[in-house]
Amino acid sequence: MEKSVKRAKRLRDVRYFESPEHLRPGSPMPGYAGELFKLPKDAIALGQRIGRKCEELGISIGDADHLYVCLTPCIPEASLLHTDYALERWHRFVMVGLASDYSDRPPGEQLSVVQSATFGAIAALATRGVELLPLLLQEMASKGNALRVTLRTKETKKYRIRVEQDIPVHPAPSRVFARIEERATSRALEVQVAQVRFHDDAPSLVDRLSLVDEVLTIHPRKSFRAELIGRDYELPLKVSLRELVEPGGG
């Protein structure tokens, strides 16, 4: 049990596939959803938001950090079918039933069905953090496309600092924000510090936060991938807190 818990990864990516029949070991790789079921354009971003928020909250489905929801008409709508099918250890497939009339429904209803199916799959597979799913569902309902993923936080005697990003519908870029709140007055400053073409590039730009002489420095990660991504940006990202500390600022 201890080894299993230690090996557990945070879920960080959710994608949607489709298959007309059960997936079994040795089956060919299913295609992305779009032929059997016409998903609304928001569905990809929905899966990305759910995956990244699960990563933020520490929700795990075991030793896989990618959840591949395979939609199928071969089982009743909203039912789940576990499968051992996987191409890599970090993949976890689960089959979810959809009715054949799914593509004829209004886009809002289509998205709601996919979201419910995703949360149901995560709840069924979760090995850690399942109790956080209702709170995440509530946050997604209240914020919609404005939902943000927290990348880093820092608290000092004077400030509360949060760096976060949104995950919009493709092809809009993902924006990275720094929010600094002065603890004594609750005055806050929010600044967009970057925008990235792909949502999962943002974490490479944000690692350690330091505050010197009222300037917030956002240090990038140190990895080969982070260095490749960082070439397109002026790093480290910096934010002046002058608006908060000068009279009349904020």
Residue spans per domain, the chain: 2-142, 147-245
Inter-residue contact 85 to 156 (CB < 8 Å): no
- Tell me the per-residue pLDDT of 98-137, one tens digit each, with 9 for 90 and over: 999 999 999 999 999 999 999 999 999 999 999 999 999 9
pLDDT of residue 81 exceeding 50: yes
Ramachandran assignment for 43, one of left (phi > 0), alpha (psi -120 to 50 degrees), beta (any other):
alpha
Decide which of 105 and 8 is more confident.
Answer: 105
pLDDT grade for 238, boundaries at 50, 70 and 90: very high
What pLDDT does 3 receive? Answer: 45
Q: Please state, in angstroms and rounded to a whole number, the distance separating the CA atoms of residues 36 and 20.
A: 8
What pLDDT does 4 receive? Answer: 46
Calculate mean pLDDT across residues 228-246.
89
Range in 4-13, 72-81, 105-114, 134-143 the model is least confident about: 4-13
Q: Determine what percent of the chain is predicted with pLDDT higher than 90.
A: 90
Calculate mean pLDDT across residues 185-214.
96
Instruction: Give the predicted TM-score (pTM) of the model.
Output: 0.92
Q: Please state, in angstroms and rounded to a whole number, the distance separating the CA atoms of residues 83 and 93.
A: 7
What pLDDT does 174 receive? Answer: 98
Decide which of 40 and 244 is more confident.
Answer: 40
pLDDT grade for 245, boundaries at 50, 70 and 90: low
What pLDDT does 87 receive? Answer: 87
What are the angstrom distances between the C-alpha of 136 and each of 28, 54, 58, 106, 178? 34, 8, 12, 24, 22
Tell me which residue of 222, 218, 220, 221 sits closest to 238, measured CA to CA: 218
pLDDT grade for 2, boundaries at 50, 70 and 90: very low
Calculate mean pLDDT across residues 161-179.
97
pLDDT of residue 47 exceeding 80: yes
pLDDT of residue 249 exceeding 90: no
Averaged pLDDT of the chain: 94
pLDDT of residue 6 exceeding 90: no
Burial call 164-183: b when 16+ CB within 10 Å, e when fewer: bbbbbeeeebbbbbbbbbbe
Calculate mean pLDDT across residues 33-41.
95
